[in-house]
Amino acid sequence: MVNPESISFLDDDSDVFPIRPARFYRHNIPHPSADHLAEIVKIQGRLMGGRLNSHDQFRDWRLDIDNMSYEQLLELGEKIGYVNTGVKEDEMELNIRKLKLFISNDTSKHQLDRKCTICQEEYESDDELGKLKCEHCFHFQCIKQWLVLKNFCPVCKQEVVVRH
């Protein structure tokens, strides 16, 4: 280990650049002593409007969800409620193109995705498909059920109905 006091960059001018042992961290800022830390805490308290030791008015609102039981989380979900971000029925009609799948031979089956991304079932001849504007296809009923809950394509995440 090198002793910082024994290092001299300029042998002749050691009194010009005195090397003193100091603890530094991040960007050469001296490590504060206990007295300096107390002073920093006082300054922070003043900067925060003197509210350092005042009552936290929102303490009762904070929830520790990491330590909640499953039943408590279910109860919380019931209290918060459900927010529907899905697509309405009339919007679906405008944004899903309904297709009938006709497979004449095995080569045309390979030109289309072989499975519905939502249900993972392979497409069969005469299946009704729903095609979104992003050109992704799914079973018609699968994409309808998906869009009731979510307003985006399950593959590319493109928004189906643009809302501002």
**DSSP character string of 60-101:** GG---GGG--HHHHHHHHHHH-----S--HHHHHHH-EEEE-
Phi, psi of 16 (to 5 degrees): -75, -40
pLDDT band at 83 (very low <50, low <70, confident <90, very high): confident
Domain residues of the chain, as ranges?
4-47, 89-149
- For residue 5, pLDDT beyond 60: no
pLDDT band at 107 (very low <50, low <70, confident <90, very high): very low
- For residue 113, pLDDT beyond 70: no
CATH 3.30.40.10 fits 89-149, yes or no: yes
Q: Which residue has the higher pLDDT, 132 or 52?
A: 132
Q: Which residue has the higher pLDDT, 130 or 32?
A: 130
